[in-house]
Structures are given as structure tokens and as C-alpha cells.
Amino acid sequence: MTRTLVTGAGGFVGQALVHALAAKADGEIVATDLAFASPPASAGVRWHEERLDDPAAIARLFASPFDRIVHLATVAGVGSAQFDLGRATNLVAMQMLLEAARRPEAPPRFVYASSVGVFGPPLPDAVDDATLPVPTTSYGTHKLIGELLVSDYSRAGLIDGIALRLPGIVARPAGSDTMLSAFLSDMFHAARRGEPLTIPLAGEDRTWVMSRTRLIDNLLHALDLPAERLPQRRYWTLPALAVRIDALIAALERVYGRERVAGLTCIPDAAVRRSFAQVPLVAAGATALGFRGDTDADALVQAVIAASPDLSPQGAL
């Protein structure tokens, strides 16, 4: 029986991934996070509240080996500015997890959620697989180190790893501030409710986004990708949609109506633009491996709404 570990399983992405894995019913799933508000009763899922930087917790989780691991747990956004907390969660826990996972006789598939935060300004005219990562935050630095660890443990034959650089994932619950990209999700909630919102980017700015539905498809694909298809390089930028803010607003207007989106106002913030005003993205390597992005702004909006009943235009106030 296949055993799968999902860390960060109580988060926005983690909950959806555990649900998708449980629906496939292809083995035992161990879901872990610091805490779960109300873990759903899912057949084949065991829920563990653990700290991944605690050796005793790691020992409990790995009492039996895993065939597949998806490492989503991270400290980002405001929390990543707390140096010691970020280091413990993003670096110490990462290395402890890799040490526990190493199994040269049968290397487990290890899917690591990295971030486009590994890139920093000034960006070239377009970002592609040859663009040099230059992180300008502790979070981006931690993610880059994680990528290199996944690559090194894979080269040594201890795991069969792949690191995926995630863009902003939408639409997180209203009021969520755990990620610096939360304003992208807030655009959906404000449009649905007809509420005002200041967007800290210019209308002509592009930013990299992906619907949660598309991300879950990509994570499942990463788990199932045959080892022989993976090249020596083990870190890839997902083919995110580089959407203009004015195009995203227009797509929201086509769903919710002009009056609902009238309160979405672009007032660029220099600090936010340094991180989120991005350039065209060419993710040829990930695309060749079968990973996919949302095709355009309308497809993105439709995917988000289909997965979020609270964003349905029906009954919007």
C-alpha cells in the first residue's frame, strides 16, 4: 500500500491536496500541520499535529517509511520576517524531513513547494529556465536552499525529488494575510461583494498567478511523474499565468458586472511592485514535463469560482 505524507496539510493548498488524494483512494495518507481547525473525516487519512523542527515529532511521523512526500509547510508573508521562526520552519524542518525521508534502497518521491520568490529585481525582459535566482527576502533564500537540498539528495540517490516554484495561488479565504500575495485573492472577494479594494500594482503590471485547482493538478502530476522522465535538474518554475492586473479586473467584471468591480482601484506601491510586478514567464522545462498553467484571465477566474462556492456570482451583494 502506498503511503503519502503531506506537510502543511491544514493550509489553503494542503487541505485541497489531501482531499484530492483521498478521492483517489490509492493508499494511506498522513496529513500533518501545527494545528487543524476541524480535520474532515476522510477515509484513509491520518491527521497529526506536529512541529517539523522537533526530532521527536519527526520520529513519530516516520515510524514507518513513506513512498511519497509533499512538503508544503512553510512560513511566508509577515511570518517570514521573523528570522528565527523562518529559519526553524523553512530550513531546519526541511533538512530534518529530508534526513528522515532518505531511503537509498527505495527513494521516495519528494515534491517540494518552492516559490517564484527565489527571483528578485531587477528581472530580465522575460524569466525562463536559465534565469539566475537572486532572492531578496529570507523566504526566497530559504526556498532556494530547499531546491538545492532536494537536488543534492536526489543526486545522491536518497530521494527522488522535484521542486516546483509556485506563483501566487488564488483565491485564498477572505482576510487571509499569511502570504504577501494575499491582495490577489482579495480582488476576487471584493469583486464578489462589490466592495472597494486598493490594489498595490498598476493596471499594466503583470503578475504570476495560478488557480488552486490547477496547482493541485500539478502536484498530483508531480507525484505520478515517472522517474525516468525527470532530468538531472530537479527544480522548475511552474507555467504560471503572467496576467496583467487590468486584464484580471476585466475578467472579474465579465463575471460580477461593472458595478461590482468599480471599487477595485490600482494605486501602485513601490515595495509591492518590486516583488509582484513581473515579466513574461517562459516555463519550457516544466511544460515539457507535463505541468500546466491557467490559459488566460477568464479561465483563471472560472477555475477559482468553480472551486469556491462563496465566490459564486449568484446572490452576490
pLDDT 10s per residue in the chain (317 long)?
899 999 999 999 999 999 999 999 889 999 999 998 876 667 789 999 999 999 999 999 999 999 999 999 999 865 556 889 999 999 999 999 999 999 999 999 999 999 999 999 999 999 999 999 999 999 999 999 999 999 999 999 999 999 999 999 999 888 776 667 789 999 999 999 999 999 999 999 999 999 999 999 999 999 999 999 999 999 999 999 999 999 999 999 999 999 999 999 999 999 899 889 999 999 999 999 999 999 999 999 999 999 999 999 986 55
**Grid cell of 59 as nine digits:** 520520529
Which CATH code for domain 2-168+210-237? 3.40.50.720
Active-site residue, selected from the candidate residues 112, 139, 153, 256: 139
**Grid cell of 191 as nine digits:** 469583486
pLDDT given at position 81: 65
**Is 112 a residue of the active site?**
no
Closest to 168 measured CA to CA, from 271, 18, 272, 270:
272
CA distances from 316 to 194, 195, 243, 264, 299 (A): 8, 11, 25, 16, 20
pLDDT given at position 317: 52
Rounded to two decimals, the pTM is 0.95
Start-end ranges of CATH 3.90.25.10 in the chain? 170-208+241-281+296-311
Residue 99 region by backbone torsions, left for phi larger than 0, else alpha for psi between -120 and 50, else beta? alpha
Start-end ranges of CATH 3.40.50.720 in the chain? 2-168+210-237
**Grid cell of 259 as nine digits:** 458595478
Which CATH code for domain 170-208+241-281+296-311? 3.90.25.10
